[in-house]
Amino acid sequence: MPDAPLRLSALTPDPESLRALSRIDDESIGRDAVSEMLPAIRPYVRTTPVIRIDRAELGLSAGPLVLKLEHHQHSGSFKARGAFANLLMGAIPPAGVVAASGGNHGAAVAYAARRLGVEATVFVPEVSSPAKLARIEAYGAHLVVGGASYDEARAAAGRWHEETGALDVPAFDAVGTVLGAGSAAIELQFQAPDVDTVIASVGGGGLVAGLCAGYDGAASVVGAEPDGAPTLTEALRAGHPADAPVGSVAIDSLAPRRVGVHTYNVIARLGSGAVLVDDASIVATQRLLWDRLRLVLEPGGCTSLGALVSGAYAPAPGETVAVVLSGANTTAVDFDRTSPSPLH
């Protein structure tokens, strides 16, 4: 917990105050800025639950484990927090908003746009899962599928922004995205004040940067990423965002070419590094969560817990670890099966 007590304002910031937040520099992104943003998005996002177990329940070394169930957020991932933050901070033009996404961010922007009554256009690559595409369309967005990677979808969204004037809503590299994601950290500090370390999955770094900002040094924040898409690891090694390989079972949510500039700056200043998780451990973690806790997560959503399952992160004795689980847009569970025939 922070040395200073957490205090949350009940007053929603006015539009100009929100626009001013969008212009703060990376050095000013911290708990105070996140706390300013939180009242604005609070009417639109859920306070997601936590469950507290012993790591031994998952077949790991004994010790306290807190799971923040961010996959219970609107649209199925933490992304709704940043989506609402960006839409509330920006002046939305007649062309509405545009986003590029592997799927979860697109679903969040589509959901936020529908709640706020604006048009949304979402560009996704061909590797996006059918579950994510269906969710984006269900929220009423105009869906455009094309390109082999997130970066190609991002380029297409950029052209749409230039041609139409639609408000661009970045998936991770924006102040609003980081401040919105940071609201999960404020919640978690109230829900589990004894946490020493927080682990979250890394794609472009928005969630980890938000947690770093929300905790602001009060706990260690560690990024977990697939070893086939080591974006944060490469950035920390280079001292700046750098291109990384793109290939993993979590490619539809954790595989941009590089972390963002804003996210890197916040993580480098306030974070505690990154660990790599192999694909076999990510899939094993999916199965473990279903088998032991009846939780359904997509690969990217449980890479964070995969850091413990694989041993990539080994807690110290007595260390209380919190893991953020985020991303339930998957077809891992099929409810379309026909009922079995009655026995005769």
Query: 238: part of which helix (H) or strand (E)?
Result: helix 231-238
pLDDT tens for residues 105-158?
899 999 999 999 999 999 988 878 788 888 899 999 999 988 877 788 889 999
Q: Is the pLDDT of residue 341 over 50?
A: no
Give the number of residues written for the chain: 344
Say what percent of the chain tops pLDDT 90.
66
> Domain 88-168 adopts which CATH fold?
Rossmann fold (3.40.50)
Instruction: Fill in the DSSP letter of residue 66.
Output: E
- Beginning with the edge strand found earlier in the chain, give each strand of the sheet holding 120-124 in spatial order: 142-145, 120-124, 97-100, 167-168
Q: Phi and psi at residue 2, in whole multiples of 5°?
A: -65, 155
What are the structure tokens assigned to 61, written together?
């070394």
Domain ranges of the chain: 15-77+174-325, 88-168
Domains 15-77+174-325 and 88-168 share a fold: yes
Q: Radius of gyration (Cα) for the chain, nearest Å?
A: 19
Q: How confident is the model at residue 10 (pLDDT cuts 50, 70, 90)?
A: low
The residues pairing with 53 across neighbouring beta strands, listed in sequence order, are 65
Q: Exposed/middle/buried for 35, CB within 10 Å: 0-12, 13-18, 19+?
A: buried
- Residue matched to tokens 């199965």: 287
pLDDT tens for residues 214-265?
999 999 999 999 988 899 999 999 999 988 777 767 655 556 678 889 999 9
> Is 3.40.50.300 the CATH classification of the domain at 15-77+174-325?
no
Distance from CA of residue 155 to its chain's centroid?
Answer: 21
| Angle at 181 (CA atoms; ends 321, 300), nearest 5 degrees | 65
CB atoms inside a 10 Å sphere around CB 335? 5
Report the distance separating Cα 57 and Cα 282, nearest Å. Answer: 18
pLDDT tens for residues 182-191?
999 999 999 9
pTM for this model (two decimals):
0.89
Among 217, 242, 218, residue whose Cα is nearest residue 232: 242
